[in-house]
């Protein structure tokens, strides 16, 4: 274990630390997080308009068209909102005008989007199908804007001019270049190969990444990396989600479309699976470990930690346990901390693949407590039962390691008591 820790600290952690702080990945992560409230609101309307329970679905059928409007206005605008939000966050990280960058990137996004035969904006490209080109255009827009600003190739106004006016003029030259460039590339692709930027990005990036990110092995590798990072004190989900979140949201959007059409859901892996199912109590299935601390610990440290962190753990906040036990850099707890979510991820995946539990298609807040989160994400009461089974499995995996650690801490506490008692006797 020491050799493994030394290897991780020397080779893996520097790369992971840099990745976590990488400017562009942080902007993508923060930009997509900004869309989360809309997606949760849309999920509520989705449950109401497309319920999995047949009698309820038949009752709601006359209202489904009206109820689908909020769904389209939330999930259907994922790419459009993300292109503005990602550009805004990236520009702010450079100390630039985020509003101008967001507006320019949104304009570039519309320039790259082909209209329908009727001359309308295609709603599907405003949603998850357009997410990858939204990310690409947001980054390109800000970098071009920054190039011109750094070299002072912008229109400068006197200090007496209001900020709202001089910002608009500052963005004029780089904005014209960005719009012209995107338009030119798109025009070339259409005239030469009858392809749009959306089509190219979809073929080159979106489809291959969805196949990888939506696979069983892709999910297991992501879970493994998340918990390896956490084991050394780095917020694992933030690092991995910076790269994978667009894929997971895109897969979930396809499930939503299938659910609304009354078709079989195509994916198990998606945002609900990766945010909720293997992270009950937070990363590492921390609720299972907290319950062991609360009910079975004999050492004062773990017993007190269980009492103090159970409330947070019920709402999927794992930091009190991860740093309080601690799990970080603790060989006795790192092993089950990695094994428990992997085991739960496998059980959940195959339970859904064989139809024991419905596939997840509803996005809920990550703080949604179990087993309610299991029921809501799948629209299936059996999801709640599976989540309780998963907690039991995780407790079983943690138990032998927990007992060893609890025994070790209890021994240390007794030794400290004896040392303190001996010191008192010497003083007397």
Same domain, 46 and 136: yes
pLDDT digits (tens, 9 = 90+) for 233-286: 777 887 788 778 888 988 998 898 898 888 899 999 999 999 999 999 999 999
Residues 166 and 306 in one domain: no
- The token duo for 16 is 């992971």
Would 366 be classed as within a structural domain? Answer: yes
How many residues comprise the chain? 428
pLDDT tens sequence across 332-358 = 899 999 999 999 999 999 999 999 999
Cα 364 to Cα 358: distance, rounded to the nearest angstrom: 16
Is there a domain that residue 243 lies in?
no
Final residue of a domain: which of 211, 226, 257? 211
Instruction: Check pLDDT > 70 for residue 19.
Output: no
Q: Would the pLDDT of 50 be above 80? A: no
Residue 207 corresponds to which tokens in the numbers above?
Answer: 């489809």
Q: Which of 159, 176, 211 lies at the terminal end of a domain, its last residue?
A: 211
Confidence bin at 387 (pLDDT 50/70/90): very high
- 255 part of a folded domain: no
- Six-digit token string for 138: 């947001």
Q: Residue 159: which residues within 8 A CB-CB, separation 6 or more?
A: none
Structural domain boundaries, residue 280:
271-427
For residue 236, tell me if it sits in a domain. Answer: no
How many CA atoms lie within 13 Å of 299's alpha carbon, on the beta-carbon side?
Answer: 21
Element (H, E) at 192: helix 172-193
Q: Taking all residues of the chain, what is their mean pLDDT, rounded to a whole number? A: 86
Say what the pLDDT of residue 358 is.
Answer: 93
Q: Residue 268, SS3?
A: coil
Q: Does any domain span residue 296?
A: yes
CA 10, 11, 14: angle at the middle one, nearest 5? 85
Residues 164 and 74 in one domain: yes
Counted domains in the chain: 2
**Residue 322 to residues 227, 366, 405, 414: CA-CA distances in angstroms?**
11, 17, 14, 24
Residues 148-206 pLDDT 10s: 999 888 887 776 677 767 777 888 899 999 999 999 998 998 887 778 888 887 777 67
Which residue in the block uniquely carries the two structure tokens 């991860």? 322
pLDDT at 4 over 60: no
pLDDT, tens only, 87-123: 999 999 999 989 999 999 999 999 999 888 888 888 8
Structural domain contains residue 258: no
Domain boundary at 181, 211, 241, which? 211
């Amino acid at each position: 274990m020491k050799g493994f820790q030394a290897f991780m600290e020397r080779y893996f952690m520097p790369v992971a630390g840099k990745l976590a702080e990488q400017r562009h990945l942080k902007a993508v992560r923060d930009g997509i997080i900004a869309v989360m409230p809309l997606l949760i609101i849309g999920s509520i309307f989705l449950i109401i308009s497309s319920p999995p329970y047949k009698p309820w679905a038949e009752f709601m059928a006359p209202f489904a068209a009206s109820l689908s409007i909020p769904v389209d206005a939330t999930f259907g605008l994922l790419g459009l909102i993300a292109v503005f939000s990602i550009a805004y966050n990236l520009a702010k990280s450079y100390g630039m005008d985020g509003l101008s960058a967001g507006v320019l990137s949104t304009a570039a996004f519309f320039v790259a989007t082909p209209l329908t035969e009727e001359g309308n904006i295609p709603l599907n490209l405003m949603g998850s199908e357009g997410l990858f080109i939204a990310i690409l255009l947001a980054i390109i827009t800000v970098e071009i804007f920054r190039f011109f600003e750094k070299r002072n190739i912008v229109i400068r106004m006197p200090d007496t001019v209001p900020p709202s006016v001089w910002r608009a003029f500052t963005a004029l030259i780089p904005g014209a270049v960005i719009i012209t460039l995107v338009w030119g590339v798109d025009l070339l692709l259409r005239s030469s190969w009858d392809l749009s930027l959306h089509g190219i990005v979809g073929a080159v990036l979106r489809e291959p990444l969805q196949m990888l990110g939506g696979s069983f092995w892709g999910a297991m590798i992501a879970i493994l990396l998340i918990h390896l990072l956490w084991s050394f004190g780095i917020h694992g989900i933030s690092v991995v989600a910076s790269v994978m979140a667009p894929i997971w949201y895109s897969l979930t959007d396809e499930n939503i479309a299938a659910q609304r059409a009354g078709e079989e859901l195509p994916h198990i892996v998606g945002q609900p699976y990766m945010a909720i199912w293997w992270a009950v109590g937070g990363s590492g299935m921390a609720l299972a470990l907290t319950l062991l601390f609360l009910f079975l610990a004999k050492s004062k440290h773990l017993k007190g930690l269980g009492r103090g962190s159970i409330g947070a753990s019920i709402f999927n906040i794992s930091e009190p346990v991860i740093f309080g036990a601690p799990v970080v850099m603790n060989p006795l707890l790192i092993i089950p901390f990695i094994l428990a979510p992997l085991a739960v991820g496998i059980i959940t995946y195959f339970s859904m693949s064989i139809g024991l539990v419905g596939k997840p298609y509803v996005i809920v807040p990550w703080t949604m407590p179990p087993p309610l989160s299991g029921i809501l994400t799948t629209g299936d009461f059996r999801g709640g039962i599976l989540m309780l089974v998963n907690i039991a499995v995780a407790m079983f995996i943690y138990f032998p390691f927990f007992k060893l650690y609890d025994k070790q801490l209890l021994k240390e506490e007794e030794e400290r008591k004896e040392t303190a008692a001996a010191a008192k006797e010497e003083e007397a």
